[in-house]
Structure 1
Amino acid sequence: MSISIANRILLGFAVVTAVLIALGLYATGQIGTVRDTIDRIVSRDLMVMRQLDDLGNKARDLGVQRRNAVISVLMREHGRSVPDEDSYVVWSRMAAATDGLFADLVRESAEFRQDAISVDRMAAWDRLNATLKQTLQVYNAYRDSSDAQLKAVVAKDFEKVEASNEEVSRLYEATIAGIERTRSALDGSVVAGQRGVAEVYEFSRFSILLTLAAGVLLSVIVTWAISRAVVRPVNEVAAFVERVGTGDLTGRIAVTGQDEIGRLGTTLNAMVGGLSDLARTNRSATADLNAAAAEIRASAQEQAASVEEQFAAVQETAATVDEITHSGAQISKRATDVIATAQASAQTARAGLRAASDTAKAMDLIREQGEAVAGNIVALSEKTQAIGEIITTVNDISERTHLLSLNAAIEAAAAGESGRSFAIVAAEMKLLADQAKAATVQVRSILSEIQRGINSSVMLTEEAVKRAATGKTRTDATVRTIEEMAARVDEGVQTFQQIVASTNQQQLGIEQVMGALQNIRQASQQTAAGTREVEMASANLTELAQGLMTLAERYRL
């Protein structure tokens, strides 16, 4: 059965406390025994002593009463007057009291002998009882002789009184001597009682000291047991925890019981096992994190280079669109000039052949400008297609950036608290990718509109060139018909007005393309900044992975 440490300690203290309480109760009992023994000895010895003193006094009173009766008889015999009193009655009453006192002393000495505290005390009571009995025999003889003598006094038998006086006096002295011997025997009993009290005291002191020694021994045993069951295992657990604190995860603590320390050892072993698994997992995860950080950094560097190239392409596209804008402005200006010239030609067509020739020349110029406009529009269409390819590239980059931010967010989530800043950077990268993708969709829509406008402009320009050629042919054929030429010039004016309108629409589309390119450039700049942040975050992630590797190397598995 396994006992908990707290119960062991409580049990040990309970045992020590019980021993101390038992020792106190035993010591109190022994002190009470000594006190009762002393009280019994003192009370009995004092009582017997008082009774012996009383017995001696009564024996002496008997002797005095007897002598007084004898003296009164002798004085009467010699003719002296003596008061008449009943000496025999007084003596008989005193003798009866003395008999009772002797009987009490003999009985008490026999009783006290039965429950004596020691052999010496028992022997002393035996001697006292024997002495009392011997003295009682002498006293009985003395009492009988005195009774006979007092009866002779009452009978006034002087001779008998005088004849028995010597024997009665001897018996009296023997009785007093016997009482004195009894007193001496009582003194021996008192000495034996003192020795008995001393023996009881020594026995009590020895037993108390022995019990105290047993209590101290038991306390030492309990302390040793607590030290062996509590202190030593606690020291072993502390040493084991200290080794674990230095990074040694190879050892395990020996579990020998089911108490608190045993459960603590089991828990520590499980904890160290978990730490070992965690260290192994941490090493593997840190290595993977380091490799992933290196890959992310390389990918970020590649992306940064790609973004730089994209930014350069956007700059070039913006310059090309700017040139197209200037070209469109020139086309519009030239178309305006053509309209003015056509109007002037219509007004001066009736002026003659010279004006028709000028018209033919103007028609040639219009044809050439129309061909130039067609060439510029074709070039603009090619640039628009290039912008479409750039937008496709930007869209691809935004998708790759979105995928990279998703992978970075996954890695940041796996890194836990340490990857929180990296998660923020990944979120910013995803936001930039979404913005770039939205911008590419917008630019693609705008480019579609521009392409449709360009196609319409190409058709109109081709038609204008054809019409200019037809007008030139008719002008050469119908130089003489100025009015018809004027009509055709008016028709050409209307056509060029349409061309100007289309050119203005194209100019608006190009301005929208410029705005979209500005947005693309800003998005590219933001993407470049985000890529640099990603590169910095990946560098920090690499340093963090190296720190984690260094920390993981502390643990010995």
Structure 2
Amino acid sequence: MSEPSNKRDEFMELKSGNSIDDNVTSEGLYDAQGSTGLTPSSEVVGEAAPPADMVADGRKEKLWIVITVLAFLLALLSSSLLNPMVAVQDQRVDQAEEVKNAVGLTNAAAAQALSEGGTFAAVESNRRVAEQAAKGLISADTLLEKISAAMFADSDANAALSTDWASYNTAANQFLAKRDEITQVQTKLEELSANIGAAVTESVDFVDAVAKEGTSKSSSSIKDRYLFLTSEASNLNGILGTLTTSIRNFYQSDSDLVATVDKQASLMVQLQDMLNRIVANSAAVVGTVAAPLRERYQQLETQVSEIGEGTSALVEARAALRDMRAEGEKLEGSLETASAPSATVRILSAIGALLPVVFGVLGVYGLYRYFTLQSRELVMHEANLSETLAEQQESILKLLDEMSALADGDLTVEAEVTDQITGAIADSVNFAVIEMRELVSQINRASIEVANESELAVNNAQSVSQSNMNQATQITAAAKLMQQVSESMRQMSEQAASSSEMAQDSQQAAEQGTAAVRDTIRGMENMREQIQETSKRIKRLGESSQRIGDIVALIDDIAEQTNILSLNAAIQASMAGEAGRGFAVVSDEVQSLAERSTEATRKIAELVATIQNDTNDAVLSMEKATQQVVSGTQVADSAGSALSAIEEVSNRLTKLVEGIAEGSTAQAEVVTQVSQQVSQVSESSTETSRKAQASANSIAKLLELAKDLETSVSRFKLPGA
């Protein structure tokens, strides 16, 4: 049986087995006849246009698919826009509640800070939390928040809230501005309380001393006096207890601080007066015991005075706290207004829940209508397809008969072009035959040229392969040298890093030396101040010695006058005879007392002169010591300047060495990269050599294929051959 008969049989089997795709649409059939892009020798006529019902259904399909897409887009838009905006409004309620809580905690922490043992850390932290929450509530940072603010008209509420928050924040800052002063006052109150405790202990000892002194007296009147003094001494502890109680007023928010300060000052005056009165009416031993207590009272008086000076800070802090509470109440009102859900929010919340459902149902209905129209179109396509299959089968069988000779390699035949569906195919086949004739001719010519060029390419590829092998050997040697250079650069980088560490150690030593010199300078400054103070005291001692000398001179004059008077008395007694003998004894005693006074004043004068000389020497010594301290300070300043210069040079040296280390490291990395690249080039050269050899082999195979191609093409029959 011939080959054309076989092809006809295959086509009939395809027809009987329904192998032709029944899903081909009528539009596809129309396109199959006119979309080949080739112009047949005689124009194909009789192409049927799509039915009007199909065109109308196509438009409806497009309309329903557009409606479906729009419905789903609107459902997505309503779900992704309205619901988040409503969520933003709900979030405002939470933010407002957070601001309320933070403001309440801030006010409570502020009140606690003014109480005993209170701190300002909680005030500052809670204020920061309130500030962050308020800013998050007031400001609209994201696009969604801005849209929500514009839609729900939050600008007015935010403006009022911003104003009230600014007022509250100002009051809080005014309160925190008094933190250091209040902390100092609280510290002084703690010191005052501790000092009062020590004063109570010393007062108890003083009461015991007064009572003990009264017990040692034998006179009942003196004992009664000391009993009264002991009672008054016991009252000292009562005054100290009242002073301790007054300290609590500084921690009570409703206390009168000015009255408290005045009361403490009055109590200190009572303590001093009572102590002085007891000492004045007691023996000297009581005054000795009262000395440390008097010093303690003076310390208490100083502390009370310092606390009184700092009372204004407490008064201002209490006023700021009252302002915080008042502004906090106003802020809470603004927060209630800003966070209250409006009718618009409730409406949009309901719309946001309903619209996605409505648009979703509309989209589902659109899909239903679209698929209904699709099913109708498929039914119409199947009917049109059955009518055209019979015509197509006959024209295809005819075309197969004409193409049987072409299958045997005869390029001289031409297919008949008709007005059937195969007309365009026959025209295309004729065009393809013409192109195949030209192609076979070109293949014959090209196969000969390929064979010649392949032989030349094989020779060139073998030469290139040998050159690449030589180049790979040289690159390998260069790679080894680059590795050695890389190792040297790495060692240099390590040495530079070690130098950098040594420079940093030098810098640290210079900084420590500078700090030591600064400490030395401060010590010398303190020493100079102490020496100057000591010098002043010694000068005052010299002045006191001078006054003592003046008093001694006066006593000497009095003794001399007394001596003269005693001499006159002795003369008068001798003149009186026996009657003046007793008076003579008295005059002798007076004269003896005057002589002893003269001798004592002479010794005191010598001692005062010695003290004055020693004082002058001490003053000169102190002045020299002051000059030496000044000189030492100047030397230390010079040393400090030198160490500062050393420190600056060390800093520069450290930076320079670090730069060298970084440069060395960078160079080592660059050399390593170059070495790696050279190695890669070596590998690439070796790979190129292998590929060149492979190319030579491929070209040899190409030569064989060209010969096979020439043999294969030789079976085609061309016109005129």
State TM-score, norm by structure 1.
Answer: 0.31
User: In terms of Rg, which structure is larger?
Assistant: 1
State TM-score, norm by structure 2.
Answer: 0.24
